[in-house]
A and B are shown apart, each in its own frame.
Chain A
Amino acid sequence: MTESATVQEQPVRLAELRSKKPFYFNTSEHLLRIGREKATNLSELLDALRQCPVESVFQHTFRTLQEHHFIRHGFSNDFAQWADSACNESALAEQLASVDVREFTSLEELRQALVNILQEYVQRKPGAATRLAEEPFYFCVADIVVIPTAFAPDTLPGFADGLRQVSVHSIHHHFIEARLRLKLMSNDFSQWLLEEMHLPEPARAVNRIDIYTATMENVRQQIVRIVERALQ
């Protein structure tokens, strides 16, 4: 068999290849509970961030990205947004916004990273620490419910079809929240492409998509394109 024949036959095989485990598309829905912690200045924010439940850290970082999935630019997490709009501390906001949730597989580690930034800032600028914010920061907690969808493909074309049809909440669930479940610097899509379909390159390409410069709808389209390219 010539090399070109192999290349020509490959798409047929890949499109028909069945995984041992289907990809079960789920989605997660959240109900917002109002937390006990509240901050009216940066110093209070630091104290509350140290004490709040991890579900609050999740809400104001991971979950807020789902809630604001339509924003392409300028929104990272609720703490950064508040530091900018309510405290007028753009330098701090920039630092907080640069915390990439995808660098963390543990909410406690993420909490510590945010605490470190805030602590260093209020030590350096004590005047800013106690200046009253324009509006308080209210800590909330996300109560999460995972919901199955009708899509459970075991082929790449079926996977692409599922990606096109599920909600952006499902994309967020598998692409961003998955890190906390997997405890890996990866996501459900990449894991399935790698472990079930043995496609390391598309798995890597999916994992490299930048969530902070794209809406969740853009993320969906980029993943679909990567899968379609693999099928070509």
Chain B
Amino acid sequence: MNPQSIAEQTSPTNGQSTVSAPAPATPPPGIPERRKTVRDYRTPPQPQPPPHLDDYASIIGQSNLDSLRFLAQELKGKSIKMVNSTALGGGVAEMLNCLVPMLTELEVTTHWDVITGGVDFFEVTKAFHNALQGNEYQLSKHVEEIFLMYNEQNRQRMQFSEDFVIIHDPQPAALVRARTDSSSHWVWRCHIDLSHPNSAVWGFLRPFVEKYDAAIFSSQSFTRQLQIPQYLFYPCIDPLSEKNKQLDDATIQGVCDEFGIDRSRPIVTQVSRFDRAKDPVGVIQAFKLARKYVDCQLVMAGGGAADDPEGVAVLQEVKAAAGDDRDIIILDLPPWCSLEINALQRASTIIVQKSVKEGFGLTVTEALWKGKPTIASAVGGIPNQIIHKITGVLVHSVEGCAYQIRFLLTHPEFAERLGKNGCEHVKENFLMTTNVKRWLLLCRILQGKKAVQLPA
């Protein structure tokens, strides 16, 4: 890509600020003075070594770490296998990259295997993925055979001698046919929304799913009625990752300076891909309505426009909706700009997630973790995170969103209370350490070691 073509630019047809990254080390002539400190984003940062459990003590408390160690001790000598379809990219791989080292540090032997397959297999599984989330799809015998053939190939290649086998998502779901030893426990971890699946695809997969000992979903609303127990494991964030770790004020200021954001005025931010499901145009409409009464800037930080034709179109729609408004700052960032996203979230006065369709909504989790008053739509897993008027506010329309922006900007004490509660809610429910605890508890319960029967 020509660096000049991706440089920060002001559209000749409108005056709103649009920053595309990666940006050149030297800013092109003509850009505003306040943005001459742009960094070179072309090189992704070096991956950081995974943190150690003790690093989390200051966040969750020593007593919670002790509980993790106690639960892990009971699993000493046991082993876990995690199987998914990709080692890099996507939320599942990101989560396993953090979870596996933590379980290993707790001396619970954990292996992570990735299934292999040809292009035809991954075309089928992508179609399954979309169909299970409600898309139309014609399931054929041929497609079923491709799916089963690659699952069989992987079954023959892999060993399943572990005490607990955890299969992530639909792609490797048929590996359960390898189950022979009744002493091992098999669990299906479903990361997608199964609330309205294509009936043919779900009808094909369901018999495999019901061969497991348990299924895990990310939200109550994503589940199906099954004959096996279903557990609720919320997705989680790592508080020590680049995207969520504490930042000093100089770093936050530096990022704001780079993108021309004025920290002396209120900042309203939405972080998400340029995708219609995130309703970016609705956010701009809400911002414009709110700004009739309160002074503020809007930051729309996201990505996805570089490699997604629809993303390009949506970005154009967003620019058109923004018009010549210089208080709307549109940032098209590459996926490795986690630190910049972190800084933008921390610089924000309010964070918005006005999606019309959503998975769990981890950008909401990130906002809450940073103690930001958050306004979000009541879709997908967001109501699990936002308890209305307690950990944030839920909205259902552009006008509702606009009103809540005005209200929170003019009631900072209420906004601060929402932010504090939101942060505590994440600490209790949506951190990686809680996720580790859930896995340890599940393994213990599957072994029949449930300790307490409640008296009626």
Residues of A participating in the B interface, judged by any CB pair closer than 8 Å? 27-34, 36, 54-55, 58, 67-71, 74-75, 81, 84-85, 106-108, 134-136, 138, 140, 143-150, 165-167, 169-170, 180-181, 183
Contact = CB atoms under 8 A, between A and B. Distances in A.
A149 B452 contact: no
A63 to B, nearest CB: 10
A14 to B, nearest CB: 26
A147 B454 contact: no
A147 B67 contact: yes
B383 interface: yes
Nearest to A141: B229
A144 B450 contact: yes
A150 B396 CA distance: 48
B455 A180 contact: yes
A147 B71 contact: yes
B232 A70 contact: no
Interface in B215-271: 217, 220-221, 223, 225, 229-232
Q: Which 8 A-B pairs have the closest CB atoms?
A: A70-B424, A138-B220, A167-B63, A32-B232, A144-B452, A85-B388, A34-B230, A31-B441
B425 interface: yes
A34 B71 contact: no
Interface string B353-397: 000000000000000000000000010000100011110001010
Interface of B: 61-64, 66-67, 70-71, 217, 220-221, 223, 225, 229-232, 378, 383, 387-390, 394, 396, 420-421, 424-425, 428-429, 437-438, 441-442, 444-445, 449-452, 454-456
A201 B456 CA distance: 31
A218 to B, nearest CB: 13
Contacts of A27: 63, 67
B450 A143 contact: yes
Contacts of B387: 68, 75, 81, 85
Interface of A is mostly: mixed
Given A75-B387, A75-B390, A135-B221, 14 more contacts: A30-B441, A33-B230, A54-B454, A68-B425, A70-B420, A70-B425, A84-B388, A85-B388, A108-B456, A138-B221, A140-B220, A144-B451, A150-B66, A169-B64
Contacts of A146: 451-452
Interface centre among A135, A143, A166, A181 (most CB of B within 10 A): A143
Contact of B455 (A143, A167, A170, A181): A181
A143 B454 contact: no
A108 B454 CA distance: 11
B394 A85 contact: yes
B242 to A, nearest CB: 26
Contacts of A30: 441
B429 A167 contact: no
B445 A143 contact: yes
Contacts of A150: 66
A172 to B, nearest CB: 11
A170 to B, nearest CB: 7
Given A31-B441, A167-B67, A144 B428 contact: no
B372 to A, nearest CB: 16
Contacts of B220: 34, 138, 140
A28 B452 contact: yes
Contacts of B70: 147-148
20 contacts: A28-B452, A29-B437, A33-B229, A34-B230, A54-B456, A69-B428, A75-B387, A75-B390, A81-B387, A107-B456, A135-B383, A143-B441, A143-B445, A144-B454, A146-B452, A147-B67, A149-B66, A150-B66, A167-B61, A180-B454
A29 B428 CA distance: 12
A137 to B, nearest CB: 9
A167 B61 CA distance: 8
B421 A71 contact: yes
Nearest to A58: B454
B390 A74 contact: yes
Contacts of B232: 32-34, 140
A75 B417 CA distance: 14
B445 A29 contact: no
A31 B452 contact: no
B451 A70 contact: no
B217 A34 contact: yes
Nearest to B231: A33
Contact of A31 (B61, B383, B442): B442
B34 to A, nearest CB: 39
Interface centre among A28, A71, A107, A136 (most CB of B within 10 A): A71
Nearest to B383: A135
Nearest to A85: B388
A106 B421 CA distance: 30
Contact of A106 (B64, B428, B451, B456): B456
A34 B231 contact: yes
A144 B453 CA distance: 8
Contact of B63 (A71, A84, A166, A180): A166
B451 A71 contact: no
Contacts of A31: 231, 438, 441-442, 445
A167 B65 CA distance: 10
Contact of A145 (B66, B421, B450): B450
Nearest to B62: A165
Nearest to A38: B220
A211 B100 CA distance: 38
Nearest to B387: A81
A166 to B, nearest CB: 5
